[in-house]
Each structure stands twice: as C-alpha cells, then as structure tokens.
Amino acid sequence: MSVTYLTQEGYDKVRLELDELKTNGRQEAARAIAEAREKGDLSENAEYDAAKDAQGMLELRINELEKVMATARIIDESQIDTSKVVLLSAVKIKNMKTKKEVQYKLVSETEANLKEGKISATSPIGQGLLGKAVGDVAEVQTPAGLMQFQILEISV
C-alpha cells in the first residue's frame, strides 16, 4: 500500500469531500433511485438505470477517498529542506527554449491542480524537477518532446 503525502490543507479538503459524499451524496442518490422506482417497470426504466449508475460512481469515489485517507501522511511544510526540490517545494523554473518563467508547487496526485499552480510530483515535469538544486537544468521528456528547465528558486 503506497503512502499519500498531503499538506494539512489537502488533507482537510479530502476529509470534507468524503464527509459530504457520505452524507448528502448518498442521500441524494437514494432519493433519485426511489423517485425512479416509483415510475413503474424497472426493466424499461432508463431513469432508474441512470440513478443506479450514478450511485455506483458515487460509491467508487467514496472508496477512492477512503483509500487516500487510510494512507495519508501529513507533511509539515516548516520542515522542508529548500536546498533541493522535494515534495511540497515551490519551484520557480525557466523554460530554456522559450525563456518563459513559471512557478509550480510539487504536490501529491490528490492535490494537483494546474489552475492553482500545483503539479503532481509523479508527473513528467514533477519527476524531472525532484532532487534538483538552484541553477541545475532539468531535462524532462514530455509528450511534446524533450524540454529543459533551469531551476531559478526553491521555496516552501
């Protein structure tokens, strides 16, 4: 069983979603199934089939979140070493080809959100940056080809 490393914020977000799905999500799914069941013959009731499918997807998501919670380890951001790129590092990088600078925070897959500038440490760019120090050039094989990024700054 692999460990899922989370920030306190990420852990709280997963806990909140799980609680919401277990309470309101399950109630809503049960209500939808009951309404569909009242409409007659279940063998030809597309609404009933859709409600059962939605319930199955809900239970799948609950199961996934429970696995994350069972293996979660909260990382104290104040203990992070900023001499090299590690999980939860905020990294400012420069694309060597385009000279464009961007900043990402390396997080677990569960917390990854590109709109917030959070990328998964298991993504190709995340893996390429891990272990690098300021000034190093990371070569990353992406679907678009080989890319080079210079590490400009590492922070928390």
Domain boundaries, the chain: 4-74, 77-155
CA atoms within 13 A on the CB side of 120: 8
Q: Which of 20 and 109 is assigned the larger pLDDT?
A: 20
Tokens of 82: 């900023």
User: 100-127, pLDDT tens digit by residue?
Assistant: 999 999 988 888 899 999 999 889 999 9
Contact 10, 73 (CB under 8 A): no
Judge whether 4-74 and 77-155 match in fold.
Answer: no
CATH tag, 4-74: 1.10.287.180
Cα–Cα distance list, 67 to 9, 98, 111, 118 (Å): 18, 40, 15, 22
pLDDT of residue 42: 67
pTM for this one? 0.70
φ and ψ at 107, to 5 degrees? -130, 180
Was domain 77-155 assigned CATH 3.40.50.2300? no
Q: Which residues of 14-40 are buried (b: 16+ CB within 10 A; e: fewer)?
A: beeebeebeeebeeebeebbeebeeee
Q: How far apart are CA 4 and CA 111, in angstroms?
A: 10
Helix (H) or strand (E) holding 135: none
pLDDT at 16 over 90: yes
CB-based contacts of 130, cutoff 8 Å, min separation 6: 85, 86, 87, 106, 121
